[in-house]
């Protein structure tokens, strides 16, 4: 099957699967990661077929919605790719990316082996910061019935995957536990440049948030 036909077919499949999703891990998140990965990938000389498939399927079964089980995503991705007659070596590469790209806590390293993995990880992390990242943070917090902010409750820099997956703190703490740490964890030059601007936007937002929280003008 032609690679572009496969990509378009899988994109439609993913779009249908995520219909009605409202936690910030929806089709439009996947779409933005896909488009950002394309942008970075062209500059980095990546294998675009592997890259686009991994971007489209990276959240096909996010561990956050499967009791912390991060093996479900690669299994479902493998099934989808096999149904589309994707070559085994491409399937293996895509599933490796999906299995390893997720953020797992401040003290946990998640190094990607290939440039395609590095790019998808960057694209995913870029969508977690900036204006859209802020919106997604609160969308997910609301989805999980978490408060926006609890004054005096300190953020936790989780040192293990299990501790991070079990975290249930307020949404504002998530900025310090993950979002503000991502700028320095980008893999590619392009992503680092984009992250700088989005990081500054979040810092400005937090400054205003705390002032408004206290009822200041």
The pLDDT of residue 126 is 98
**Residues contacting residue 3 through CB under 8 Å, at least 6 positions apart:** 49
70-98 residue pLDDT tens: 788 899 999 999 999 999 999 999 999 99
Alpha helices in the chain (DSSP H): 3-17, 27-44, 48-57, 72-83, 88-100, 115-126, 130-143, 161-165, 171-177, 189-213
Mean pLDDT for the stretch of residues 35-50: 98
**Residues contacting residue 93 through CB under 8 Å, at least 6 positions apart:** 50, 54, 114, 116
Complete domains list, the chain, with CATH: 3-213 (1.10.3210.50)
134-168 residue pLDDT tens: 999 999 999 999 999 999 999 999 888 888 888 88
């Amino acid at each position: 099957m032609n690679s572009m036909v496969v990509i378009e077919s899988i994109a439609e499949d993913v779009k249908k699967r995520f219909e009605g999703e409202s936690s910030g891990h929806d089709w439009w998140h996947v779409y933005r990661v896909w488009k950002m990965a394309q942008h970075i990938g062209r500059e980095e000389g990546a294998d675009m077929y592997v890259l686009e498939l991994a971007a489209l399927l990276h959240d096909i079964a996010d561990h956050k919605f499967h009791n912390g089980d991060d093996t479900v995503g690669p299994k479902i991705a493998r099934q989808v790719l096999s149904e589309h007659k994707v070559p085994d070596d491409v399937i293996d590469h895509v599933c490796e990316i999906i299995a390893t790209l997720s953020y797992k806590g401040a003290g946990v390293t998640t190094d990607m082996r290939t440039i395609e993995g590095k790019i998808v990880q960057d694209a995913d992390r870029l969508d977690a910061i900036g204006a859209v990242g802020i919106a997604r943070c609160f969308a997910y917090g609301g989805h999980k019935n978490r408060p926006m902010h609890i004054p005096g409750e300190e953020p936790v820099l989780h040192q293990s995957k299990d501790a991070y997956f079990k975290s249930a703190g307020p949404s504002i703490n998530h900025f310090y536990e993950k979002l503000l740490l991502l700028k320095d964890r980008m893999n590619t030059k392009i992503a680092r440049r984009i992250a700088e601007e989005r990081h500054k936007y979040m810092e400005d937002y937090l400054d205003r948030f705390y002032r408004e929280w206290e009822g200041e003008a």
